[in-house]
A and B are shown apart, each in its own frame.
Chain A
Amino acid sequence: MKKELIQLQHISKSYDGHMILDDLNLTIHENEFVTLLGPSGCGKTTTLRIIGGFERPDSGRVIFDGEDITELAPNRRQVNTVFQKYALFTHMDIAENIAFGLKIKNKSQAYIKDKIKYALKLVNLEGYEHRMPDTLSGGQQQRIAIARAIVNEPKVLLLDEPLGALDLKLRQEMQYELIRMKNELGITFIYVTHDQEEALTMSDHIVVMNKGYIQQEGTPEDIYNEPENAFVADFIGDSNIITATMVRDELVNILGTNFACVDKGFGENKPVDVVIRPEDVKLVERGKGTLPGVVSHIIFKGVHYEMEVQAGGFEWLVHSTRMNEVGSEVDIRVDPFNIQVMNRPASEDEEAIGVAE
């Protein structure tokens, strides 16, 4: 197990009586790429700002490398932040921007020069020392923001939706760049985003958040394949989330039809939610599957066809490389290990608290 670097203990925070974080506990390990993922307002940015020192929690402690830094001012923490809107100093050139932190620390001229060169090389912008920030593209500005942060050799780099303002192509490029940089630097990245694809691509560890609570933590594979509740399932990728009844261990009744599954321990005849990924729904000839249905809609998506199938009174989302024409009568079949059964929360609040309880 890797060394524990940051611990958030019982963190609560509210603004104007509006609860943002409620008793949040989170441990971040050394040299990990951790992503805080969730919709806007879920508390992910506030969590990041508490680590950066820009917000004080109402209660709870922030432990950094064994030390309590809850009250420490941001300028004295060993973390650096890359802001969403770059936050470059527009009246300074690129070299001055990058040297800002180093000059405060009274580093020698030669050292600063070396560092600037190194950082610009790392972000693939060699020779940009004397350009002004305004003359760079969005992607370039973001790289400079990263360069400015990493020259200070932080133990942790905080990134607050750094790719949010970039276009799709550039965003994908930067995702690989960030992974490369993280590996080269060998430090911890804490990354905030609402983009699940970004999270799945880059992270070692994903923390899914909603309404101030952690919904699920785990590797991208864990989160994608075994969402622990309907929120996570819905948020991570497209899914069919269907209310169902657990008949007994390894048998679930979905829309009046019994399906074999691999889940156990929910009890008998218990209401549950099931998640079935669209690529796991197989369309077969009528009579060869479990549930009969009719294709009602089809779109060509490039890699696959996206189809909607009316079956058992539910509109199923299906991804398949083979197409079935609209109106064709088919059967739905799902392999038992592709059915993810989850506890159904009784209320919305319970849903938000989720498995954090």
Chain B
Amino acid sequence: MSIIKTKNLTFEYIRRDEEGNVEGITTAVDDVTLNVRAGEFIAILGHNGSGKSTLAKHINAILHPTEGTVWVDGRDTSDESQVWEIRQTAGMVFQNPDNQIIGQVVEEDVGFGPENMGVPTQEIWERVAESLRAVGMYQYRKSSPNKLSGGQKQRVSIAGVLAMHPKCIILDEPTAMLDPNGRREVIRAVRGLNDVEKITVVLITHYMEETIHADRIFVMESGRVAMEGTPKEIFSQVERLKELRLDVPQVTLLAHELKGRGLRLPDGILTTQELVEAMKRNGYL
């Protein structure tokens, strides 16, 4: 079943100079047609300015297409009357946790969404508790968000979206401002939501390592989907990714280097485990 579908999605905006005269038109998303099935884990890669975030903002109706159509769970995002339904279906988490947390106490912050949806009080508390448990932050429910680390704050932001019971979560570089530990915590929480709760995940990131467990990766370039495939398929193309200003995970790069030195290794190795096994199979270890 399809949860996010775009057909010939194009988004243009008009650039203006200081006096408001039109300078030109930028096409940020250019004729994108894609289909995300319910329960999938999708990663979107692409260099700065490739159109990733603009695409993502169409999924919960922050932006509306200039041309083409976006459907979220069967609802057309350009239909004004459906906007609230769409935003409840597809929740968004942004880069900076400090811009998204408003409550004085963690559980209050997480309850903000369902409260605004008019959920009965008893159920709000249930949702808050279950959302905080899902991201491993239940023991901090009475804390002040100010006292949390970046990774913890970001997990509270995710819980805030979860409490609205979305079918889909879009995360726009959720780990860009975090240290390695915080990054690990957030990615683990997101993978848990996808595995256990079967929530569809769309993860935008610049860290290649975070995408190796995705079901599919889309690589954006100049507003178009330049590559699409499983992590293995995508990361087998080391040179192509470099052309697109991207990278591959360190293990993949090491395997690629070793191949260049004449070792017999398969393409698209993504984890240390896989590399060790491939080395054993071919008698190097």
Tell me if chain B binds chain A: no
